[in-house]
Amino acid sequence: MATWNKYVSIGAPAMTGKGIGKAIKQAFIDNPKAIAILEDMQFPEIEWFTDNMFDRMIECGIAEQNATGVAAGLAAEGFVPVTYNFLFASMGRAYNQIRQSILVDRFNVKFLAREGIWGEVGVSHATIEGWGSLRNLPNMVLINPADSVEAEKATTAMMQYIGPCAVKMEMSPNPFTIFTDDYQFDIGKAYSLRDGKDATIIATGYMVTEAIKAVDILEKEGLDVGVLNMSTLKPLDEEAIIAAAARTGAIVTAENSSDINGLGDAVACCLCENLPTPLVKVGIEDEFGQSGLITSERDELMDHFALSADDIAVSVREVLKKKAKFAK
């Protein structure tokens, strides 16, 4: 069984949404300027908000561009608007409005955005390209927490941060509980779950759980593999990436999103400019998401898109071959 660094205690799966809901509820209690912008969707802790803060909820319906304008106007007056929706709707449909009305002036708007390929919601809602489309937008902070503990702490950090920020909510399956309650989350800082000697898996969001499973698989083969949790895509912790590459000389990235302009490309660019290192990307290769059945025995989409722990382990073996080749 692999050993882990401080603040890591691998436990049973838990919904990240619970951590997000707990943090949002507390943020609204602490800050009377926080206001929920609804887009014909529910909201974290919706029953509590309906009972206790009905006057701090604005329903805009299926009109995401309009909701973005409402959020921008409220932020201009000192409020802290929070939207919750599928990413394709709240941020995809309103991409131009977010750019023009929020990011240019760096207004303090928060986005809780659901994205990821697992589940039966289909190509329209199971989007995987939205996260990467946001990475080139100036003034936008992008966070993808690995478990329920980090989700709570990351959401708290988002609400305390002054400026536009998005937290990605992956729909399913539930990740392991990974962090202890005293884990410290900082925007823009990665955390090493274990350092390793042979290779490092740099993972984000749910894929940190699959990386943990992959470590156990590879340990049985005598390989010492590290895991770096890259919970913030932007700003990227380049220092941690370079340190991991220097330590192990081989990198695998893992993300539940398109591998175009996502974590893998961000890490590759960092290493190309600072410390060229063999790298293999695990992600969705230039295709749309789709529906798939999830049972206790099988996840059809994980198999289809090659995102499982077994697939990560294959990629680690592949990158180690590259490492050996380049060492000659």
| Tens of pLDDT, residue by residue, the chain (328 residues) | 689 999 999 999 999 999 999 999 999 999 999 999 999 988 999 999 999 999 999 999 999 999 999 999 999 999 999 999 999 999 999 999 999 999 999 999 999 999 998 877 788 888 899 999 999 999 999 999 999 999 999 999 999 999 999 999 987 789 999 999 999 999 999 999 999 999 999 999 999 999 999 999 999 999 999 999 999 999 999 999 999 999 999 999 999 999 999 999 999 999 999 999 999 999 999 999 888 887 777 788 888 899 999 999 999 999 999 999 987 6
Helices (H) and strands (E) counted in the chain, each on its own, are 13, 14
- Look at residue 328 in the predicted model and tell me its pLDDT: 67
Region 14-173: CATH code: 3.40.50.970
Measured CA distances, 193 to 3, 15, 23, 190, 316 (Å): 9, 20, 23, 10, 17
Residue 268, helix vs strand vs coil: helix
Let me know: does 56 contact 81? Beta carbons within 8 Å. Answer: no
Locate 211 and state its tokens: 């990386």
CA-CA distance, 75 to 154, in Å (whole number)?
21
Q: What is the DSSP letter of 176?
A: E
DSSP track, 82-140: EEEEEHIIIIIITHHHIIIIIITTT---EEEEE--S-SSSHHHHS-SSHHHHHTTSTT-
Segments of the chain assigned to CATH 3.40.50.970: 14-173
Radius of gyration of the chain (CA): 19
Determine the Cα–Cα distance for residues 300 and 295; give it in Å rounded to an integer.
9
Q: What pLDDT is stored for residue 269 in this prediction?
A: 98
CA atoms within 13 A on the CB side of 161: 26
**Angle between helical axes of 309-327 and 207-219 (0-180°, round to 10):** 60
Which residues make up the CATH 3.40.50.920 domain(s) of the chain?
A: 183-327
- Residue 81 burial by Cβ neighbours in a 10 Å radius (0-12, 13-18, 19+): buried
**Gap between the Cα atoms of 19 and 149, Å rounded:** 6
DSSP codes of every residue in 212-234: HHHHHHHHTTT--EEEEE--EEE
301: tokens are 């989409």
Taking CA 224 as the corner, what is the angle to CA 222 and CA 227, rounded to the nearest 5 degrees? 140
The CATH number of the structural domain formed by 183-327 is: 3.40.50.920
Angle (CA) 303-130-178 rounded to 5° is 60
Quick check: pTM over 0.75?
A: yes
